[in-house]
């Protein structure tokens, strides 16, 4: 591993040791965050699978109901029956914080515009299966919105897990080893300088002793 250019001084050594301590603390926090994100993600994925199966089953029944209703009703009457809505719907979009990720939340409600009647047509020329299909459509809408909410949450959590994983790897395999190598390099240089100083001092001492001995003679 290539060493970063550093000055082999005690001040630089102290600075690198502090950075290494911070990096290790950040590494632990990010690993804990990644593990918790994975738990949340797996729970969301499980909920998503259950919701998808439920919605797909309802959609199949809904499609069959509309198909049978259309088969027993003329296209013109079917179009006239469904052209004017009798329900008023409201969708509220918000967010909630999940492990520092702002995931979406959907709130849906609907009500009849007048007299509590949800059907915009009379029952004389339409099939009863159309009534059933429209009722099923109203029942499935909250599940569809919940599925959209859960799927988007899973996508956002997966993206955050990937970002956190990259940060953990960067700290674990790049930054922390670099700090350790630089600390080792500076420590070795300082020790080498210390040994050199001691050697020079010992030589100076020997020279002074020799000079004093010659003076006495």
Q: In the chain, what are the helix, strand and coil shares in percent, each to the nearest 5?
A: 75, 10, 15
Q: Is residue 214 part of a domain?
A: no
User: Cα separation of 102 and 157, whole Å?
Assistant: 9
Q: Is residue 86 part of a domain?
A: yes
Query: Three-state DSSP class for 95?
Result: strand
Whether the full predicted model's pTM is greater than 0.85, yes or no, is: no
- In the chain, the number of structural domains is 1
Q: Is residue 94 part of a domain?
A: yes
Beta-bridge partners for 102? 97
Tens of each residue's pLDDT in the chain, 217 residues: 445 678 888 899 999 999 999 999 999 999 999 999 999 999 999 999 999 999 988 888 877 877 777 776 766 666 655 665 666 778 888 999 988 899 999 887 776 656 555 555 555 555 666 666 666 777 788 888 899 999 999 999 999 999 999 999 999 999 999 999 999 999 988 888 888 777 777 777 767 776 776 766 6
User: Cα separation of 142 and 132, whole Å?
Assistant: 17
User: Cα separation of 197 and 21, whole Å?
Assistant: 30
The H or E element spanning position 130 is helix 128-170
Q: Is residue 90 part of a domain?
A: yes
Q: Is residue 217 part of a domain?
A: no
Q: Is residue 134 part of a domain?
A: yes
Q: Is residue 2 part of a domain?
A: no
* Domain enclosing residue 129, as ranges: 10-209
CATH of the domain at 48: 1.10.287.3240
Q: Is residue 167 part of a domain?
A: yes
Longest C-alpha distance within the chain, in Å?
139
Buried b (16+ CB within 10 A) or exposed e, 156-192: bbeebbeebeebbeebeeebbebbebbbebbeeeeee
């Amino acid at each position: 591993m290539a060493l970063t250019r550093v000055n082999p001084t005690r001040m630089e050594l102290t600075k690198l040791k502090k950075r290494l301590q911070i990096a290790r603390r950040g590494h632990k926090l990010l690993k804990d965050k990644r593990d918790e994100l994975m738990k949340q993600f797996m729970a969301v994925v499980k909920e998503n699978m259950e919701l998808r199966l439920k919605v797909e089953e309802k959609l199949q029944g809904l499609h069959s109901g509309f198909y049978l209703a259309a088969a027993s009703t003329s296209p013109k009457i079917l179009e006239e029956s469904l052209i004017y809505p009798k329900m008023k719907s409201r969708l509220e979009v918000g967010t909630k914080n999940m492990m520092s990720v702002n995931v979406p939340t959907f709130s849906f409600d609907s009500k009849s515009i007048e007299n509590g009647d949800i059907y915009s047509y009379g029952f004389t020329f339409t099939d009863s299966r159309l009534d059933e299909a429209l009722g099923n459509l109203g029942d499935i809408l909250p599940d569809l919105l919940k599925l959209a909410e859960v799927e988007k949450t899973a996508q956002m959590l997966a993206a955050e897990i990937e970002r956190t994983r990259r940060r953990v790897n960067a700290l674990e395999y790049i930054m922390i080893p670099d700090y350790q190598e630089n600390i080792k390099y500076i420590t070795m240089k300082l020790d080498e300088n210390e040994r050199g100083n001691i050697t020079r001092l010992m030589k100076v001492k020997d020279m002074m002793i020799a000079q004093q001995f010659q003076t006495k003679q």
